[in-house]
């Protein structure tokens, strides 16, 4: 999927949840693909990549998806990691964790559906 699709998906996520202050998509190497509402600083990008790598190494046996939520200074961080990459969200501390994960999963499903539709479109165009 194009980075612009990921960017639009993150903007939609911020509309779904007013509690999310920053959302990132990371590639499988931990690099930032897209961010909303704006690009993070270098340090936050680096920390997000490290968190995704640690989550994959510690919990993602056999490529299984991983969900992590943790308290940090000034808020909470949420991560969903899979073989394709990761989504990271930063929120205030007083959020409903299940609702944040629900919104994140909704956006990830939309991205997956869009990728399948794009693959069908490209396949049909090649015939």
Which domains are present in the chain?
A: 3-126 (3.30.450.30)
**Per-residue confidence (pLDDT) for residue 69, from 0 to 100:** 93
Edge-first strand order for the sheet with 20-26 is 32-36, 20-26, 85-91, 75-82, 66-72
Report how far residue 59's alpha carbon sits from residue 67's, in angstroms, rounded to the nearest whole number.
9
* pLDDT confidence tier of residue 24, bands split at 50, 70 and 90: very high
Does residue 20 contact residue 89 with C-beta atoms inside 8 Å?
Answer: yes
CB atoms within 10 A of CB 85: 18
pLDDT digits (tens, 9 = 90+) for 29-62: 889 999 999 999 999 999 999 999 888 888 767 7
> Which residue has 């394709």 as its token pair?
84
Does residue 48 contact residue 88 with C-beta atoms inside 8 Å?
Answer: yes
């Amino acid at each position: 999927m194009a980075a612009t699709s990921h960017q639009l998906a993150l903007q939609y996520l911020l509309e779904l949840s007013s509690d999310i202050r920053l959302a990132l998509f990371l590639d499988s190497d931990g690099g930032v693909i897209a961010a909303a509402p704006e690009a993070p600083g270098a340090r936050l990008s680096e920390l997000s990549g490290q968190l995704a790598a640690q989550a994959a190494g510690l919990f993602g046996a056999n490529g299984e998806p991983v969900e992590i939520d943790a308290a940090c200074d000034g808020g909470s961080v949420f991560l969903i990691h899979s073989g394709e990459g990761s989504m990271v969200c930063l929120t205030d501390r007083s959020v409903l964790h299940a609702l944040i994960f629900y919104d994140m999963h909704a956006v990830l499903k939309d991205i997956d559906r869009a990728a399948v539709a794009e693959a069908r479109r490209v396949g049909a165009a090649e015939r």
